[in-house]
Structure 1
Amino acid sequence: MEVNRICNFNAGPAALPEPVLQELQENVLNFQNCCMSILEISHRSNDFDNVINDAVARTKRLLGIGDNYHVLFLQGGASLQFAMIPMNFLAEGRTADYINTGTWSTKAIKEAQIQKKNFNVAASSEDRNFAYIPKEFSFNPDATFVHITSNNTIKGTQWDQFPDTGDVPLIADMSSDFMCRPIDMSKFGMIYVGAQKNIGPAGVCMVIVRDDMLKLIPDGLPTMLDYRTHVEKNSMYNTPPCFAIYTVQLVLKWLEETVGGLGEMEKINRKKAELLYAAFDESDFYKGTADLDSRSMMNVTFRLPSEELEKKFIDQAAQNGLGGLKGHRSVGGCRASIYNATTVENVEKLISFMKEFENRNK
């Protein structure tokens, strides 16, 4: 059945690749001829074992990591990770560095504060309303880890180069730019990802944690909040979100087999971002909110000459099949999220509409 789909620029839950949606549709009633829906199969079945193990294997291949990293599928989103990280890695006598680049970094810092953990804010871009990624840091060489948020969905900023932390492992919230490009995983002790922006639907959080980080965890934590529980049980200590994990598996398959890996994905993402930012730079009607050297490839934030025009722009864009362009409620304005599944063609349609709207409303 032909479906008239919009160009989806939502920030999350966000666009999924159409081949993934089609395969999901086929397996909703009868998953791989097992005579049950993917929504019904047991997480203890061989069928689901194959799903989760394939998702883990594809993640490791795409990132180029070995068995010293564990790929977990947890619930509670990235927001629960804000609390689990200091709980697991900042036992008494340890300290950490946090870099504050916006809303999600601020929330992570707050959870460390609630637990009365020792930490240092090594850098912040709060002085200019988080419009840039800091370049100077005040790192503690004795820190257990350095925490960053790799991409700021609300302010439209992204780390182009990750900070040099020496022997101190990085922990990164990569919820909104995971798998958008190759990365040097040797820098990272842990990455965590709310799936609903770039690799799947809401309901599952991927955590990739290195062996040496597990040795920092104190005994006596609540069972479900101890990373070792989920490593030992292959993410199945309790019933996992099977459908969400299956969707992630299909997205990873699409990335690996259809796109051709993260190097090819980066080329597509850079092309989309360059086209869209060029449209801003050629116009005095649209204005990006992030500094040029901190612009995000994933979340393009911009303003129009007035809030009235912004509302009109968002409404008329929706009427023209361009959805999800409203900025985050905390900052207003407009935002086009151009995650992996967003096509170059859809970005070109947005740019065409932007030019028409500008000509009608100057």
Structure 2
Amino acid sequence: MHRIDNFNAGPAALPLPVLEQIQREITDYNYTGMSVFELSHRSDTYESIQAKTEARLRELLSIPDGYRVLFLQGGASLQFAMIPMNFLGRDQTAAYVLTGVWSEKAVKEAQQFGAVRCDEQAKAGGYRTIPAHLDVGLLEGAAYAHITSNNTIYGTQWSSFPKVNVPLIADMSSDILSRPIPVQDFSLIYAGAQKNLGPAGLTVVIVREELLAKANQHVPTMLDYNVHAKNNSMYNTPPTFSVYVMGLVLEWIAEQGGVTAIERQNAAKAASIYSVIDEHPEFYVGHAEVAARSAMNLTFRLRDEALEKKFLAEAKAKVFVGVKGHRSVGGCRVSLYNAVPAAAAHRFAEFMQAFARQHQ
């Protein structure tokens, strides 16, 4: 079997044991004589898959009572519109904290449904940091506050979350299940699956029932959270195979020791690469300020543009995949999601060390 070091930002690496189990079950799931691809979403077999997946997610994240878990489609990008469509009135204002491209996109959608106030502290600094605090005026009278917990393009991450007196909503697409989170502090959490949860095509929403009760009326059926909640995420055909794979990924996380153990692993992986950047500050230039560094997406540049091109070419030749930075900012990016093995991070750190010594 040939496996490479996959540092793609998403779709991202999946655990090898999960892929192997999918391979074993692909033509005959649990002696049904059918693939999960072929199962009716109304069958007892599929309903059991979805129920087990939800139960394991609730266990791993310690989701309290009073929250619904929804399995939707359309990615986080659709959530950018669904959230204000359901929870922002034309005469209301929402507060958004800008920390990168995806929060900017979320603001653009929200502005179509109501007024938006933005915290632009991070934007003013080139998206190198996370706000230490939020202005009280930003939150005053807001229908909700929205943050992006991890920023894949700029490589910044909230180390702790703001305490607010309005419903707090978070896009956690790129770091959900990478560390424990205080779910009870949020009214809604959403995440595209293709980073840490499973394959592309599935979006998970964790929403407080109290917020659902206050949702706007006259929302198009497929964009109405309450419709999906009342129909157990099966108003229409859910992304059945993606839910199945997510269930396997959650079982794998549990086998690693749960989210706390995963957090330790992720911290060690990130430290192996950040330590090289810090050891060679005259050679590698990290984008994020140290206090705001992401454990998921590590972004940096080389001080010389020609050398950076050579670095990326050599990384590609050594089959380190996905190292080139996002097209909007350039540079380099190494994504270390849960399923990226520690050995892969160490190999890349060794490559960085060797390259720096060779060219100094």
TM category (shorter chain) comes to over 0.9
Give the secondary-structure state (helix, strand or coil) at the position aligned to 2:52.
Answer: helix
1:307 deviation in Å? 2.8
Aligned to 1:275: 272
Does residue 206 in structure 1 map to residue 217 in structure 2? no
Alpha-carbon RMSD: 1.2
Answer yes or no: is the 8 Å Cα contact 2:139–2:145 preserved in 1: no
AA paired with 1:231?
A
93, 118, 123: which one pairs with 1:121? 118
AA paired with 1:147?
H
Aligned to 2:235: 237
Aligned to 1:99: 97
Does residue 28 in structure 1 map to residue 20 in structure 2? no
AA paired with 2:127?
F
1:94 deviation in Å? 2.8
Aligned to 1:156: 155
AA paired with 1:140?
L
37, 55, 58: which one pairs with 1:57? 55
d(CA) in 2 for partners of 1:96, 1:276? 38
What are the within-5 Å matches in structure 2 for residues 214-229 of structure 1? 214-229=212-227
AA paired with 2:5?
C
* TM-superposition CA deviations, 1:106-146 (whole Å, max 9, x none): 0000001123x022113431112111101132232322211
d(CA) in 1 for partners of 2:126, 2:355? 28
Give the secondary-structure state (helix, strand or coil) at the position aligned to 1:125.
Answer: helix
> Taking structure 1 as the reference length, what is the TM-score of the superposition?
0.96
AA paired with 1:107?
K
What are the within-5 Å matches in structure 2 for residues 59-74 of structure 1? 59-74=57-72
Q: Which runs of 5+ in 2 are unaligned?
A: none
d(CA) in 1 for partners of 2:72, 2:160? 28
1:164 deviation in Å? 1.4
Aligned to 2:292: 294
Answer yes or no: is the 8 Å Cα contact 2:133–2:162 preserved in 1: no
Answer yes or no: is the 8 Å Cα contact 1:298–1:337 preserved in 2: yes
336, 340, 343: which one pairs with 1:345? 343
d(CA) in 2 for partners of 1:11, 1:263? 22
> Taking structure 2 as the reference length, what is the TM-score of the superposition?
0.96
d(CA) in 2 for partners of 1:351, 1:5? 18
Give the secondary-structure state (helix, strand or coil) at the position aligned to 1:180.
Answer: coil
Aligned to 2:7: 9
d(CA) in 2 for partners of 1:351, 1:288? 14
Answer yes or no: is the 8 Å Cα contact 1:273–1:297 preserved in 2: yes
Answer yes or no: is the 8 Å Cα contact 2:76–2:171 preserved in 1: yes
> 138-147 or 184-193: which moved more?
138-147
Q: Which runs of 5+ in 1 are unaligned?
A: none
> 226-235 or 92-101: which moved more?
92-101
d(CA) in 1 for partners of 2:236, 2:313? 43
Aligned residues between the structures: 357
AA paired with 1:141?
E
The share of aligned pairs that are identical, in percent, is 50
* TM-superposition CA deviations, 1:152-182 (whole Å, max 9, x none): 00000000011111x3221000000000111
* TM-superposition CA deviations, 1:247-287 (whole Å, max 9, x none): 1111111111x111111111111111112111100012111
